[in-house]
Amino acid sequence: MSKKKKIGYAVAVLAVLAGIGASGRLWMVMDSSRSAVADDKVKLADFHSDDRAAIKRGEYVMRLADCAACHQTDFSGGYKIDTPFGALLTSNITPDKQTGIGNMTERDFFNAVRQGRGNHGFLYPAMPYTAYSKISDDEMHDLWAWISTQPAVSREIDENAGMNFPYNIRLAMAGWNMLFFDNRGFEIDSARSEQWNRGKYLVDGPAHCSVCHTARNLLGGEVSDGYLQGGSLGDWYAPDITPNPHAGIGKWRDENVADYLRSGSNGESVAAGPMAEAVEHSTQYFTDDDLQAIATYLRGVPASKTAPAQGYAQDPQRQQRAALSYEVNCSACHGLQGEGIKGMVPAFAGNNAMQHDPTNMIHAMLRGARAPHTEQRQTAAGMPAFDWKMDDQQIAEVLNYVRNSWGNQGQQVTAQQVTTLREHTGAGDKLKTPDAR
């Protein structure tokens, strides 16, 4: 056989093997045999569970999965999620036949939640089926029982009307799933404790922590070596929650983790933005045992290798101007020495969480922020917006002062960073003083 023919033969063999491998991978991500445990005859609109224990457990699963934060408190959807590929509107998941999921059977429901296949085809991973795939059969049965008791709401949602071409073609998600979707249930690690396994199940499954706290690649897949090390949410940033003492939660005790998830505050950090929504709708309802399990697991994952932040030496004149601005605008709540107000307003002094990515601090300065309303913290503290009062340079100077005072070290925040986020968040411009004539 000639050398040319040998090369051609080898290429053909490799192509066949690649095709077999791709077909096998596609079969794996499309396999829905796990859902065979669910009923495939009765539609949701025709089913109303009378199993009170299952309904109660199902409500808890709903809290674990934070369904209300995205699907609204009446579960009729319409919540806007901005992605790098366009805007999504969350779906109506009430038992309404025309506009909700009333025509789904329990098996359809299992496939939607755990495999990302809904009424209109493949779902986008903004609906975290990539994590929900870990939810157990028992908890899925309970969730189905609970959702059957919810009122049907007629609300038509055009879910991907805001998605840019070609990302609005749902069939393309089959290829995305082949690359990034792990279609497997939760696997217990017998070498670990029951508490650790419960924590991992919650973090990787219904609570879907990595969906926000892990960086994503250009196609929207989670970066495998960045697990829980922080990720961009567009206008917000989900910080590192590994045991890194400089950038993560390495200095938190188990009770600090539990307090933060239960109340939205632990003396150092106060939840805001999407995390405030998660605490308000979801984590405040977790049992003490589940909160402890999450703390146990998080404090045992590999710590990120993020080094301590490097400080920025601000120009003395700008620093003096920023210090005065801080005293006038910020010190009433955050304290003259950055001490904050325990349980309500985060302390700045020695706060590792604010010394790295400045996105959340810029966002809070521009648009304001609100802490979650929880059973533990009935009075949810709020921060006013300063977009109308400060220009981009003034905001950057205040943040540079805060991030480099009281023992803090943070890299420079630039006026351009503030400008960019002002545009992305739709914040207003600083008010201009009318010319006196």
Give domain status of residue 434, yes or no: no
Q: Report pTM.
A: 0.89
Give the model's pLDDT for residue 176: 84
Per the structure, the count of domains in the chain is 3
Q: Which of 13, 1, 20, 109 is nearest to 65 (CA)?
A: 109
Give domain status of residue 120, yes or no: yes
On whether both 135 and 22 belong to a single domain, the answer is: yes
Separation of alpha carbons 102 and 147, rounded Å: 10
Separation of alpha carbons 108 and 168, rounded Å: 22
On whether both 100 and 154 belong to a single domain, the answer is: yes
Separation of alpha carbons 127 and 119, rounded Å: 14
SS3 assignment, position 67: helix
Name the β-bridge partners of 52.
none
**DSSP string of 276-302?**
HHHHHHTGGGS-HHHHHHHHHHHTTSP
Cβ-contact 425, 356 below 8 angstroms: no
Last-in-domain residue among 237, 265, 298: 298
On whether both 353 and 392 belong to a single domain, the answer is: yes
Last-in-domain residue among 240, 267, 298: 298
Using CB atoms within 10 A of its CB, is residue 194 exposed (0-12), middle (13-18) or buried (19+)? exposed
On whether both 15 and 148 belong to a single domain, the answer is: yes
Give domain status of residue 175, yes or no: yes
The H or E element spanning position 81 is strand 80-83
On whether both 75 and 176 belong to a single domain, the answer is: yes
Render each residue's pLDDT in the chain as its tens digit; 437 residues.
555 554 554 444 444 433 444 455 555 667 878 899 999 999 999 999 999 999 999 999 999 999 998 998 899 998 888 887 888 889 999 999 999 999 999 999 999 999 998 877 888 888 999 999 999 999 999 999 999 999 999 999 887 777 787 777 787 888 888 888 888 999 999 999 999 999 999 999 999 999 999 999 988 889 989 999 999 988 999 999 999 999 999 999 999 999 999 999 887 788 999 999 999 999 999 999 999 999 999 999 999 999 988 888 888 999 999 999 999 999 999 999 999 888 778 889 888 888 889 999 999 999 999 988 888 887 777 899 999 999 999 999 999 999 999 989 999 999 999 999 999 999 999 988 776 55
On whether both 287 and 372 belong to a single domain, the answer is: no
Neighbours of 423 (CB within 10 A): 9
Give domain status of residue 185, yes or no: no
Cβ-contact 92, 100 below 8 angstroms: yes
First to last CA, the chain: 95
On whether both 239 and 165 belong to a single domain, the answer is: no
Give domain status of residue 222, yes or no: yes
Separation of alpha carbons 287 and 56, rounded Å: 14
On whether both 348 and 251 belong to a single domain, the answer is: no
CATH number of residue 380's parent domain? 1.10.760.10
On whether both 136 and 17 belong to a single domain, the answer is: yes
On whether both 171 and 262 belong to a single domain, the answer is: no
Instruction: Provide the annotated binding site.
Output: 67, 70-71, 209, 212-213, 330, 333-334
Name the β-bridge partners of 208.
none
Give domain status of residue 367, yes or no: yes
The residue range of the domain holding 381 is 318-425
Give domain status of residue 307, yes or no: no
Give domain status of residue 433, yes or no: no
CATH number of residue 224's parent domain? 1.10.760
On whether both 288 and 395 belong to a single domain, the answer is: no
Tokens of 239: 């910080």
Instruction: Provide the annotated binding site for heme c.
Output: 67, 70-71, 209, 212-213, 330, 333-334
Last-in-domain residue among 149, 180, 211: 180
Give the model's pLDDT for residue 54: 98
On whether both 64 and 150 belong to a single domain, the answer is: yes
Cβ-contact 155, 76 below 8 angstroms: yes
